[in-house]
Structures are given as structure tokens and as C-alpha cells.
Amino acid sequence: MLPVRVPTPLPRGGRPGADREPRRGTRWRAILPPPGRWRRPLRELLLVVLLFAAYKLGRLLGAHHVEEAFANAGRLWDAERALRLPSEEDLQDWLLKLPPAVVAANVYYKYVHFPATALFLVWTYARRPWHYRWARTVLAVMTGVALAVHIAVPLAPPRMLSGLGFVDTAAVYGPGVYGPAHDDGMANQFAAMPSLHVGWAVFVAVSLILSTRTRWRWLWLAHPVVTLGVVVGTANHYWLDAAVALVILAVVMVVLRPPARPRRHPGRDRERLDHPDAAVPGSDKSTAPHAPVAA
């Protein structure tokens, strides 16, 4: 019997190969991620924006307590001297001997604080998702507590105490950070305590140390050390501002304990890479073909 060739039915549209032609819009669908993947990043971004807006609004509520802020600054200065803390003025005098270092400190103070924290959150979200939610929550709670202290205890920073010999380095050397001392609608300049510059920097360093494994991770501690020297040397904060920020951070981290690091099995992972068809140790399932069993 001769073989009979059955004709292949034509695809929709009546043209051979019509099913191989991409439909309109499929190229963009292949490039862009599915819509569902955008929901969580957008939700997190919206949450961070709302938290930042609430923080800025709360700071503005305490921006006009001038007399109380300067009175608290005098009390804090006396308390530091009673505690025999080193004078912030001594550190600034040393910094003022190096004008390029003063400008670098002002740049660090103005441009590193928020961008570094934002980059930390983005990197943690993308590379350490098991660590991200805890980090975001700790930052939000710490900032909320700091905001409450800002409102309850307005405090003029050292740069406003020219009678004690302090210099507003940002106003003199640039780049400028704030507007006029008593008429700035964008920020509460009487929110010196606690120092969120120091608090955020310490948390970013500690969080990166906890969530990474590289032997160089301890170098992240340089960020809060430099930040502390910058905020004090530029006369934007007192020593006790940093100390109070560290106390708040410590309490928040004790209450909100960091998540456990996911377990890794280097030997098992290497075996899976070398023998992808081998059975997984400790499992009764295997994708390798079974040998016939003799009867």
C-alpha cells in the first residue's frame, strides 16, 4: 500500500507560517516584565514616599520654637560639660585649619545622608529580600521616634551658637544646606536631637554587616564614623545628639529583632550544579532515570 500524505491544515488567516508571526504588541510584552511584578516595588516606593512626607510635615510642626530651642541648647551644653565630654568646638577648630576638608565635610553632610539610605533600601530590596522588610520597618520606627523627640524637645544646633565660637561652615564655605536660621520653610533647623544622620548611618552599616558575608563588610563602619565627624565638625550636631540616636536605634533593634539569615548548603548546591540529574540528599525524589530492577 502506498503511503498517503495528509495535507497540513492552514493556520488561522489562511497563510502558511501565520502562527510564527508575532502578534502586535508581543515584542514589548517580551521586553517588559509582567504587570504583577511592578505592584510590590511600586507599593514599597509609595510607602517610603508617604513616610518621608509625614516626617517632613512633622518636622515643620516644630520649626518655630526659637526661644525654647536656644534655651535647650544652653542646657545641653552645660550637661555635656558636666559629663566632661570633649568640646565640639575643638573638633571644628581642627577642621577649619583645612578648608578643602571643610568643603568636603559640607558636601558629605548635604549629599550623602538621604541618597546613601535610599540606595541601601533599593539594594536590600533587590538583593536581600528576606532582610528588606525588617530594615525598612526599623528605619521607619526609628525615624518616627526621632520625630517625636524633635517636636517635644526643639534644640538649636551648635552652628547657631556663634557666641560660643562656632562657625556655620555651610554658610561660610559652601555648599549651603539651610536657609536663614529662623525663617526656613523647608526644614526644621531646631531638630538637632537626635541626629538621624548618625542613626541612619549606623543602621545602614549594621544592616549591611548582618546581611552580607564578604570579609570586607566591616568596612561599612567607616560610614557612621565619618558621618559622626562630619555632623560634629560642621557644627550641625552635639555629641549627645548622636548618643541619643544610638540609644533609640538600640531599643528599636532589640524590640524588632533582625530576621535569621537563610541557610545555605554549599556542598549540596555544588552537587546540584555538578550533577543536575542526581537525587537531592535527604529527599526521596529524584529526576535521574531508575535502573531496571531484576525480577
Neighbours of 4 (CB within 10 A): 5
pLDDT tens track for 89-146: 999 999 999 999 999 999 999 999 989 999 999 999 999 999 999 999 999 999 999 9
pTM of the model: 0.73
pLDDT tens track for 150-209: 888 999 999 999 889 999 999 999 888 876 554 444 467 888 899 999 999 999 999 999
- Whether a cis peptide bond, with omega within 30° of 0, leads into 224 is no
Give the single-character DSSP code of 9.
P
Q: Which residue has the cell 545622608?
A: 113
In 3-state terms, what secondary structure has residue 165?
coil
Rg (the chain; Cα; Å): 29
The residues spanned by each domain of the chain are 38-261
CB 241 within 8 A of CB 194: yes
